[in-house]
Amino acid sequence: MTASTTTAKVSESATRNVGGVASLVRRIGRIAVQSALLALVWYAADALTRVTHLPVPGGVVGLVLLLALLFCGGVTPRWVKAGADWLLSDMLLFFIPAAVAAVKYGGLFRADGWRLALVVVGGTLMVMVAVAFAVEQAARLERRLALRRVRDSRHSRHLARA
């Protein structure tokens, strides 16, 4: 192997590493911006619930607001996917304060633990049923819209032939 071949390989390797670093920086930047966008939606929804005195947590209103933005096209899924994926992958970190509170209030758990467990299990089941219902309704809506698009395209082709 000659010196020029070795230099070329080293140069190629360095270029590849710089490209990898640039790609990593872009990815981290995209995740930060998208996470900030999601936080901004939550913050706006929380402010809205405080101002209007809604009996619903700001996070729930934020989810509904984000869903509305996704449906109407104000936000496309690719604008929030990387940030949402990062937040979901590290979701366990968000439960650390709850675990610390559980340790802090051990007496409460010893006295009323069965009630708290009942509420947690019941709440989880209600959420699961509500999500299953919502997914089923969304799937039905998607099927109806797809069927309507097929019918409309067939109808427009039929009219074009006539």
Task: Give the residue extent of every domain in the chain.
Answer: 1-89, 104-162
Q: What is the pLDDT of residue 50?
A: 93
Segment 34-38 long-range contacts (CB within 8 Å, at least 24 positions apart):
34/79, 34/80, 34/81, 34/82, 34/83, 34/84, 34/86, 35/83, 35/86, 35/87, 36/83, 37/75, 37/79, 37/80, 37/83, 38/66, 38/80, 38/83, 38/84, 38/87
Rounded mean pLDDT of the chain? 82
Q: What is the pLDDT of residue 134?
A: 93
What is the predicted pLDDT for the residue at 6? 53
pLDDT given at position 127: 92
pLDDT for 100 equals 72
At 54 the three-state DSSP class reads coil
Residue 35's pLDDT is what? Answer: 87
Task: List, for the chain, all residue ranges whose pLDDT scores fall below the cut of 70.
Answer: 1-19, 95-99, 162
Whether pTM exceeds 0.85: no
Contacts of residue 59, defined as CB under 8 A and 6 or more positions apart, other chains included, come to: 42, 45, 46
pLDDT in tens, 78-88: 888 888 888 88
Closest CA to 62 of 40, 85, 91, 84: 40
